[in-house]
Structure 1
Amino acid sequence: MSDTQAGQIGEDDHGHPAASKARLRLWLKLLKATKHVEAELRENLRTAFDTTLPRFDVMAALYRAESGLKMSELSSVLRVSNGNVTGIVDRLVDDGVLVRVPVDHDRRATTVRLTNAGREQFAAMAARHEAWIDEMLGGIDTSEIRAMTDQLERIASTNAKREG
């Protein structure tokens, strides 16, 4: 096993730890792969369903929350500001995909949820979305997927501990 394979930290030609450079290259490759997959998904959603990825994301969050979500909860789930979600929700309501429901005992708050038509529309999009992902990542076998998933979960867990 080489020094790099064993995880020993050497130095690169500039005196920086080699592991640090490798981690930077890994991040750049993850970012490039993510951007490629996201761009293809955006194009597929546009051409197949005349929709956008943010609209798909809003519908996905609400599909999982059958009883709906308050706007603040939806923003939190999507990790975006209320302002970013409001315009998307407005258009989805206009399209008959979502409905706003007043929250009992809070006149300022509303819950949004998918209509039956919205649930059906999202189910069709989700099935195609899964097929597109399966096609794009089809060259990765299940053992590699498990290993990559474990590593990504470890990264997320480590960073969550730093934040909290």
Structure 2
Amino acid sequence: MNTQPELRLAEQGSKQRLRLWLRLLAVTRKIEAELRERMRTEFDSTLPRFDVMAALSRHDQGLRMSALSGVLRVSNGNVTGIVDRLAEDGLVMRVPVAGDRRATLVRLTARGAEVFARQAAEHEAWIDAMLAELSPEEARSYAARLRTLAQKLDDKGAME
């Protein structure tokens, strides 16, 4: 029994998947670098600040720091410094949690919601321009395929 052709096909599949990963990574890094630069130059802000405000914008009642860290998938220490600076700028506020003196909720202020709305509109326009080569149907298809892949990786873990 000759398994050489089967082995070559498996190797080709592996190489193609590796190339896909490297291209996804390269595109992601280019887009992220452009977003970071635009946030800096147009809003004198950072992408992590935008990410924190985006997470808070979806939770009107606010989020505990641990929940905010979980949503962003970063450590509490990373989020604390960002929240501190956003609070100093009047964009977020900390609210004590009734019955738990150690816990606080973080929520956007009215000014923070306004600033975030402007940034979010620009952010969407930037992404739209960067991905303009894709038709709406192609974008929807890629997004669906990547969502399915992400769900499988979450369900099974990255390695089988």
Give yes or no for TM over 0.5: yes
- 1:128 equivalent in structure 2: 122
* 2:148 maps to 1:154: yes
CA contact (8 A) 1:55 1:88 kept: yes
> Aligned partners of 1:107, 1:83: CA distance in 2, in Å?
19
Supply the AA of the counterpart residue of 1:135: A
- 1:4 equivalent in structure 2: none
Cα RMSD between the aligned structures? 1.5
Unmatched tracts of structure 2, length 5 or more: none
> Aligned partners of 1:95, 1:120: CA distance in 2, in Å?
13
Query: Shift of the alpha carbon at 1:158?
Result: 1.0
Count of matched residue pairs:
153
Identity of aligned residues (%): 58
- 1:32 equivalent in structure 2: 26
Query: Shift of the alpha carbon at 1:9?
Result: 6.3
* 2:80 maps to 1:86: yes
Supply the AA of the counterpart residue of 2:43: F
TM-score (norm: length of structure 2): 0.92
TM-score (norm: length of structure 1): 0.90
Supply the AA of the counterpart residue of 2:21: W
> Aligned partners of 1:62, 1:75: CA distance in 2, in Å?
11
> Aligned partners of 2:24, 2:14: CA distance in 1, in Å?
15
Cα distance change, pair 37–9 in 1 and its aligned pair in 2 (3 A): farther
- 1:61 equivalent in structure 2: 55
Task: Spell out the pairing of 1:104-115 with structure 2 (5 A cutoff).
Answer: 104-115=98-109
